[in-house]
């Protein structure tokens, strides 16, 4: 399984920015697993959290390509810092008179809120990290999940400094080398037939 990487992008709030970014991912074959966008405390700047799957090299390349976009103000690689992340999910669970109490009890255990009550279904709101949401859904699955909607993950770096270290290339030796010094070239040399 390819690992997930959590990136945050601060981008100019201008038309087509989302297209520009998703088109970059699409054209180059990078897989977006989740994407959420919202306004920030700065007018004109939006923040995106993107979950990319791929090996470290793919993510490095994606970040370098993103960095070239005029609309991208800053890229934060959450793999480099401690972070908090959350996701909001709405889950509509089928209920019967027999299961109603048990479903509500599970929801309470997860500190989930009921946001809609139907004759045959309850809709819950759950926030949490990926593990909590997956666990909630797994607990509810036996009762019958009718619909779910997830917002995608959002993340902030921990600590009190908002201007967190970013992935810039002031010292490319730190930024580039971990990804680049992987394959020992001596191994490849052995494949070469002596044709000279």
Catalog residues that contact another protein under the rule CB under 8 A. Answer: 15-16, 19-20, 23-24, 27, 57, 60-61, 64-65, 67-71, 169-173, 175-177, 179-183, 185, 188-189, 191-192, 195-196
Q: How far is the CB of 192 from another protein (least distance, A)?
A: 5
Provide the minimum distance between the beta carbon of 175 and another protein in the complex, in angstroms, as a whole number: 8
Compare residues 19 and 96 and give the one whose CB is closer to another protein.
Answer: 19
Give a three-class secondary structure readout of the chain. Answer: CCCEEEEEEEEECCCCHHHHHHHHHHHHCCEEEEEEEEECCCCCEEEEEEEEECCHHHHHHHHHHHHHCCCEEEEEEHHHCCEEEEEEEEEEEECCCCCHHHHHHHHHHCCCEEEEECCCEEEEEEEECHHHHHHHHHHHHHHCEEEEEECCCEEEECCCCCCCCCCCCCCHHHHHHHHHCCCCHHHHHHHCCCCC
Tell me whether residue 151 or residue 166 sits nearer to another protein (CB atom).
166
Q: How far is the CB of 61 from another protein (least distance, A)?
A: 6
Cβ proximity to another protein, 131 vs 171, nearer residue: 171
Q: Closer CB to another protein, residue 27 or residue 82?
A: 27
Q: How far is the CB of 196 from another protein (least distance, A)?
A: 7
């Amino acid at each position: 399984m390819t690992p997930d990487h959590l990136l945050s992008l601060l981008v100019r709030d201008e038309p087509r920015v989302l297209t520009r970014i998703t088109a970059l991912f699409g054209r180059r074959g990078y897989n977006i697993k989740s994407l959420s966008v919202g306004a920030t405390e700065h007018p004109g700047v939006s923040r995106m959290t993107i979950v990319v799957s791929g090996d470290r090299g793919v993510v490095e390349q994606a970040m370098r390509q993103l960095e070239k976009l005029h609309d991208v103000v800053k890229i934060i690689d959450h793999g480099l810092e401690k972070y908090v992340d959350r996701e909001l999910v709405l889950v509509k669970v089928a209920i019967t008179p027999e299961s109603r109490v048990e479903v509500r009890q599970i929801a309470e255990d997860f500190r989930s809120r009921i946001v809609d009550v139907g004759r045959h279904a309850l809709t819950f709101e759950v926030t949490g990290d990926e593990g909590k949401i997956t666990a909630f859904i797994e607990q509810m699955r036996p009762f019958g999940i009718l619909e779910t909607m997830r917002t995608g993950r959002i993340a902030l770096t921990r600590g009190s400094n908002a201007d967190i270290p970013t992935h810039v290339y002031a010292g490319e030796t730190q930024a580039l080398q971990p990804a680049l010094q992987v394959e020992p070239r001596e191994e490849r040399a052995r494949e070469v037939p002596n044709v000279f």
